[in-house]
Structure formats: C-alpha cells, structure tokens
Structure 1
Amino acid sequence: MPATLPVPVEFTLPAGWLPAAAPPGVAHAAVLPGPDAGFSANITVDGGFPREEVTATELADASAARIREFAREVAVTHRSEFGPADAPALAQRITFSALEGGARRDFVQSQVYLFLPDEEDPRKRALVRLALTATPAQYGEVLADFQDFVRTVRTVRTRTGAEG
C-alpha cells in the first residue's frame, strides 16, 4: 500500500516516464521503460514530518546509513544545500553496489530533500524526499529528466470557504 505524504503535492513526470506501483513507504513511483540489463531507472517520492531539531544533513546522513544496511561501497559523492530559509532543500548523490536480480550491480541515487512549511502550523515543517535511482550507464541520460521533475514539484494548497 502506498504511503501518504505529509502535504499534498503535484508534479509532472518527464516525457517517457510512466507511473508505477509504489513500494511500501513510498507515496509515488515512476519508471522509465528501456531497462539496462533488466533494471529500469526509477523516481520515488516519500516524506514525513521530521522532528523540529533534525537538520537536512542529519536526514541525508540517515538515508546513506539505510543504504549501507543492504549495499556495499556506499559513498556520498555530492551534497549541496539550496533554497530560501523558509523552505530549505538539500540534494545529494550516493553511489553504491547492491544485489539486484541475483547479481551485484552498481547504482547511482540522487536524492532531493524539500522542507515545506505546514499550511496549518508554519512552525512545523513537512519533508518531501524525491529520489532517482539508476545504473551508472543510465544516470547521465536520466539526470536532466529528474532535475526537470524536481522543478515541477509543488504543494497543493487546500482551499477554505473564504477564498471563494
């Protein structure tokens, strides 16, 4: 059963990407047909409400640690923070080796952490995490698609009766 996000979002999938069944803990998933030796590049969207004192760097470190639980040769090869103070974001790229389809394969994962103020209580921040996972051969071809996808992610504001 797909997870729900802490805030409603809308986005546009890049051309050629198809919605896919979301694995447990993921709200949305998409794949690009045309696998590399059986692996299709994919985009996932998940999120939650992190504790107020948790930083983006701590969340990114925890994500890398989770990958280390099932993968080898895990390395954070890039990390940068961006965005305004009221809606900060962090991007990181992780390379790793993991079993997939009975064989050990190399992967690249780009993650983007978006912090969004809660509409009802701006002191609370919602987290939406976007991730692209691909083989190194696919990565160069799909990174621009992922960047385009990230630029389309928007919160959906709920309307009240006073807004008409």
Structure 2
Amino acid sequence: MTTTLPVPIAFELPDGWRAAPPDGVGAPGAAFVALHPHPDAGFTANITVDGAFRPDPATLPEIADESVANLRGSAASVDVAERREVGSEDAPGLTQTLAISAIAGGVPRDLIQSQVYLSLLDVEDPSKRAVIRLILTVTAAQHGDVVEDFRDFVRTVRPDTP
C-alpha cells in the first residue's frame, strides 16, 4: 500500500522521467515513484521517495545503517561505497551510495543506489522530526548517464508549505 509522507514536499522531475503508481511498480512502501524513459537491459532506473516521523534519537548515519540492513535482508550483497553528512545543523542531511548485487526481475543485476536523507524539524517543537528519503536505483552500467538527473531532482526538493 502506498504510503504518505510525514510532511508535504514539492519537487520537479527531470525531463523525460514520469511518475508511476508505487503499488503498480512494486514499491508499495513509497510515497512517490518516477521512472526513467530508457530501461537498461530490462531494468528501469527509478526514483522513489519515502519518509517517516522519527521521534527517536537515531542519527542520520544510524537511519542509513537501518536501510543498508534492510537491503541486505533482501539482496545478495550490499556495500556502502560512499557516505557523507551534508547540510547544516538546522537542515541536516546525509548521502550514501550503495553497490548492490541482487536478483531483480528474475535476473542477477549489479545496481547502484544513491540515497539522500533529509531531516526536517518542526519549528515549534524540535522533538517532532521527520526524515525524508530520496532514492535513485539504477544499473551500474547506466549510473553515469542517470545520476545527474537525480542530483537535479534533489536540488528541487523543498518543504511544501502554504
């Protein structure tokens, strides 16, 4: 079942990318999915967006570790290729790049997943924290052609406030 984000956000998709219903493309935990117009060897690069309220004290690196552990539970191999904290104290974020070897669509694949975590605090009650996760999943062969689209997408993400 498609989920909703804990806080509304706005963004712009890169040229050619199209929105798809999360349930219809096998991403039921996502709030939003976009598909690249040109599949690579039967795999379609995708951007997914999800998020949750995180009232616990977990840091962004700990939350990113949770994602890696979840992937390891379903993928043959997951390696953290790069991780770095970004943003500021008022708007912290984290990026990580994962190298994944898994069966996707019944075929063994080498995938790259770029993840961006954004922490959003309620200005009136900082104990209310939402974490939004933006994810690009792409074949290793297509990564270089698609990663800049993902960076462009991330640059447009912002809170959608009245």
The TM-score range, normalised by the shorter chain, is over 0.9
Q: Distance in 1 between matches of 2:2 and 2:84?
A: 29
For these two proteins, the number of residue pairs brought into alignment is: 158
* Alpha-carbon offset, residue 73 of structure 1: 2.4
Q: Distance in 2 between matches of 1:95 and 1:148?
A: 21
Give yes or no for contact 2:50–2:134 (8 Å, CA) kept in 1: yes
1:157 aligns with 2:152: no
* Alpha-carbon offset, residue 71 of structure 1: 1.0
Give yes or no for contact 2:54–2:130 (8 Å, CA) kept in 1: yes
* Alpha-carbon offset, residue 157 of structure 1: 1.3
RMSD: 1.2
Aligned to 1:103: 107
Q: Which runs of 5+ in 1 are unaligned?
A: 159-164
Aligned to 1:85: 89
Q: Distance in 2 between matches of 1:123 and 1:103?
A: 44
SS at match of 2:134: strand
Aligned to 1:112: 116
Q: Which runs of 5+ in 2 are unaligned?
A: none
SS at match of 1:137: coil
Give yes or no for contact 1:7–1:118 (8 Å, CA) kept in 2: no
Q: Distance in 1 between matches of 2:39 and 2:19?
A: 15
Aligned to 1:131: 135
Which of structures 1 and 2 has the bigger CA Rg? 1
Give yes or no for contact 1:52–1:124 (8 Å, CA) kept in 2: no
* Alpha-carbon offset, residue 119 of structure 1: 5.0
Code of the residue aligned with 2:37 in structure 1: it is P
SS at match of 1:69: helix
Greater CA deviation, 49-58 or 131-140?
Answer: 49-58
Greater CA deviation, 50-59 or 141-150?
Answer: 50-59
Code of the residue aligned with 2:6 in structure 1: it is P
Give yes or no for contact 1:44–1:131 (8 Å, CA) kept in 2: yes
SS at match of 1:26: coil
Aligned to 2:9: 9
SS at match of 1:68: helix
* Alpha-carbon offset, residue 103 of structure 1: 1.6
1:37 aligns with 2:41: yes
Moved over 4 A (4+): none
Give yes or no for contact 2:76–2:103 (8 Å, CA) kept in 1: no
Give yes or no for contact 1:90–1:113 (8 Å, CA) kept in 2: yes
